[in-house]
Chains A and B, each alone.
Chain A
Amino acid sequence: DADVTQTPRNRITKTGKRIMLECSQTKGHDRMYWYRQDPGLGLRLIYYSFDVKDINKGEISDGYSVSRQAQAKFSLSLESAIPNQTALYFCATSDFHGTSFPGELFFGEGSRLTVL
């Protein structure tokens, strides 16, 4: 089983619908992130959380919200989806106090969202 699991892996929805992407991790990491990937634009940070109850905006947070329900769970919501939110979304974790390389992120397999 993957250490960082994202659901759903693929979703097609219509403009105006509410969508939630979920992320859970078994790595025991304290930090969790949501990134968006668009062709030719790389990875852009949407929101991040250093602990439960800690929520921080990233570079492109407009139109998105997040919830850190537990240390292992971090969900991303689109309250009213629009076509330019069509993208590949990645959840990632990091462990500031652990043994991984400083700066190392562990990514899920991605959630492909299409908004029609």
Chain B
Amino acid sequence: GQQLNQSPQSMFIQEGEDVSMNCTSSSIFNTWLWYKQDPGEGPVLLIALYKAGELTSNGRLTAQFGITRKDSFLNISASIPSDVGIYFCAGQKGSQGNLIFGKGTKLSVKP
């Protein structure tokens, strides 16, 4: 099946550091989304991107839809302990296509 390559697989950082993760694909997507899964819970949408080149922020989070439509990145600035969790990128083709998820980036934050 189609795959999204998400990296890094895991990160161990100190509180206050900035974090960057990205997703790449060999296919073009019309929508990129970033989800976060807190320990013991289901994923929750953080940011949705609908236009190539779009840069969107949500508090300390910033995400971009790559100009080629084949990639996206997520940055977290000044990390805090509650940023711990697994971050998933997801791509969607068209308005009705099912989401294709990346394998996730597991973030650990040391206080």
Tell which of A45, A92, A103, A108 touches B31, judged by Cβ atoms closer than 8 Å.
A103
**Bound Cα distance A108, B41 (Å):** 8
Separation in Å of the B14 CB from the closest CB of chain A? 24
Interface of A is mostly: loop
Interface of B is mostly: loop
CB-CB under 8 A from A98, the residues of chain B are none
Q: Is the Cβ of A105 less than 8 Å from the Cβ of B96?
A: no
**Bound Cα distance A10, B9 (Å):** 26
Residue A20 is within 8 A (CB to CB) of chain B in the complex: no
Q: Is the Cβ of B45 less than 8 Å from the Cβ of A104?
A: yes
Interface residues of B (CB under 8 A from A): 1, 6, 9, 31, 33, 35, 40-45, 48, 50, 88, 90, 92, 95-96, 98-99, 101-104
Which 9 residue pairs are nearest across A and B when measured between Cβ atoms?
A107-B42, A42-B103, A43-B101, A101-B48, A42-B101, A103-B92, A103-B31, A104-B45, A59-B1
12 contacts between A and B (CB under 8 A): A42-B88, A42-B101, A42-B103, A43-B43, A44-B101, A45-B99, A48-B98, A90-B43, A105-B99, A107-B44, A109-B41, A110-B42
